[in-house]
Amino acid sequence: MKNKYKVLLSLAFILILELSFAQSRFDLGYGSGYSSGYCQDKANCISPISPIPPIPSVTENSDSYKDGYNRGFKDGLQNNKQETRTRYKTAKPKFYNNERNSNSTNEILLMLLKKKRETEEKVNQDFQQVYSEIENYEDNNSEEVIKLKTEYLNKTENLANSASEILKSTNGNYKHLLNLLQDIYDEFYEKVQ
């Protein structure tokens, strides 16, 4: 009977110790954030022991390390600012954020799509400009110049028709495509003169 009481008492004692030292992810984040915030803008800083973490607010999650970190960072930064000494200033505070925001991802994708369309329009304009300059080149009814015009107009059309395959093989390198177009243009004017 005595042994049963000892075992029960030992188990109860261990359970109480376990519960008293247990920390949530919020508490762990708060301690880490407090140290980072307190030492923000301080060279060779030794952070103090963080205070007891507060209870998470309604907008904060007790299982979120990020929420605890951000709250601790703000508190540490505030306690750091209470000192009157002027310290060496480094970077502005950065808050820990490991989540992806779908709105910002969509904005980035839209921006990239817009940039791609602008580049495609510029390439189209360059093709049209080269084609029209070769087509409108004054030939003075010279058969040789007319032949060259026809040859280089065909080269320009072939390059335009194979542009998508060239872009695929160069991983979307529009500069390579424009260099090929520039080569056709330069070659035409070298041969004409």
Give me the pLDDT at residue 84, please.
54
Q: Are 130 and 156 in contact (CB under 8 A)?
A: yes
pLDDT of residue 51: 87
**Structure tokens, 105:** 């991802």
pLDDT per position as a tens digit, 103-144:
677 788 888 888 888 888 888 888 888 888 888 888 777 888
SS3 category, 170: coil
Q: What is the mean pLDDT of residues 150-163?
A: 86
Whether 49 and 20 have beta carbons less than 8 Å apart is answered as no
Two tokens, residue 152? 């280089």
Per-residue pLDDT, 82: 62
User: How many helices (H) does the chain have, and how many strands (E)?
Assistant: 7, 0
- In the structure encoding, which two tokens stand for residue 193, read together? 């003169």
pTM of the entire structure? 0.44
